[in-house]
Amino acid sequence: MPGRTEREAEQAFLDPLAKALSCIARAKFQALRRNGSKVLLLEGLELKGSWNLKLEVTHYYRLLSNVNASASERFRVSTLSYYYTFLEESGAAEVISYQWHPAGNSGYLGPHLHLGSGAGEIPPWLSKCHLPSGRVSFEQIVLLAIEGFGVKPLRTDYREALQASHDRFTRYRTQPGDGFA
Amino acid sequence: MYSHGIRKTSYWWYQRDSRGLHLRFRPERAEFAMARSLLPITDSLVDEISPAELRAVLDRRARRLLSLTGEQFLAKWNQGEFNTPEWENDPRLGHLSLLIPFLSNGH
């Protein structure tokens, strides 16, 4: 998400996430900054729906600048990695976890998902397996919660709001070679 | 002093008297506005937490993923006990290890 300043870019990044979250919960992300990187967290957010689940989010990002970009897009937030995990109601077992951690210890660099024991009888080798996926947005996770898992939306216009925000994410997500460093 | 103003911004005040409309400056409000501008703009969107609070997050996740306390996980991590082939590419390890750099105080 671009901005004239670091603060504006961060605001442009966080605002859609907060709006998406407001579609399913009255909650806020937690955040911690260190050396230019920041981690956003959601801890065991209870989701009441067709199946009662919990949502856990870990989203790492940093701010980048591009001196060649227009003034309005001089700064941008870039995602470093994410973990979007649905847990069973007790929070003890994962059901499904969407992940992307290109700089982690894993040899698997692309976006993927994991199935967990909370989804039912899963052989251990399968729960460790990186199942390829596209890069997902938090908005898609919220939409999955509502339309896939039956979580009651708190906004009647949730679909339009999430779609607009997801489109913006798709437009502005950083890509290799786009000049930001 | 400012009670007769007809419109205010954060620290400028339009005041009308018998001689017309005047723009007044309110230094105490300017000081407040400048102080507020130095706060993280994310304040209203997220709750900032401390490394100590993140340590509690790590503890909960280590218990769930590895059946270890956060301290036990960190001790094993620092002793290199996860540097074995069986832990290579284990998604649970990656999940927890990315939190480690945020546990110390930084800027």
pLDDT digits (tens, 9 = 90+) for A50-78: 889 999 999 999 999 988 888 888 999 99
Nearest to B57 among A28, A43, A101 (CB): A43
Tokens representing B39 are 């706060």
What is the spatial distance between Cα A93 and Cα A52, in angstroms, rounded to a whole number? 13
Tokens representing B18 are 């018998």
* pLDDT per residue of chain A (181 residues) written in tens, 0 to 9: 788 899 899 999 999 999 999 999 999 999 999 878 999 999 999 998 888 999 999 999 999 998 888 888 899 999 999 999 999 999 999 999 999 998 766 778 899 999 999 999 989 889 888 999 999 999 999 999 999 999 999 999 999 999 988 888 787 776 555 454 4
Residue A64: in which H helix or E strand, if any? strand A53-65
A37 in contact with chain B, both atoms CB, cutoff 8 A: yes
Q: Give the up-direction half-sphere exposure of residue A41: CA atoms within 13 A in the CB hemisphere.
A: 26
Cross-chain residue pair A14–B42, CB shorter than 8 Å? yes
Distances (CA, A) of B28 to B12, B13, B25, B31, B33: 11, 12, 9, 5, 9
What is the spatial distance between Cα B80 and Cα B82, in angstroms, rounded to a whole number? 5
Mutate which of B58, B102, B103, B104 to disrupt the A interface (most A C-beta within 10 Å)?
B102
For residue A18, what is the nearest residue in chain B, using CA coordinates? Answer: B45
How far A179 CA sits from the closest chain B CA (Å)?
25
Query: What amino acid occupies position B48?
Result: E
Mutate which of B46, B55, B92 to disrupt the A interface (most A C-beta within 10 Å)?
B46
pLDDT of residue A80: 93
Q: At what angle do helices A158-172 and A6-22 cross, to 10 degrees?
A: 150
Total length of chain B: 107
How far A105 CA sits from the closest chain B CA (Å)?
6
pLDDT digits (tens, 9 = 90+) for A18-28: 999 999 999 99
A126 in contact with chain B, both atoms CB, cutoff 8 A: no
Mutate which of B48, B57, B86 to disrupt the A interface (most A C-beta within 10 Å)?
B57
What is the spatial distance between Cα B61 and Cα B90, in angstroms, rounded to a whole number? 15
Tokens representing A163 are 């779609």
pLDDT of residue B103: 93
Stretches where chain B sits below pLDDT 70 are: 1-15, 21-43, 105-107
- Which are the contacts of A76, defined by CB distance < 8 A and separation ≥ 6? A1, A2, A3, A9, A63, A64, A65, A66, A69, A172, A174, A180
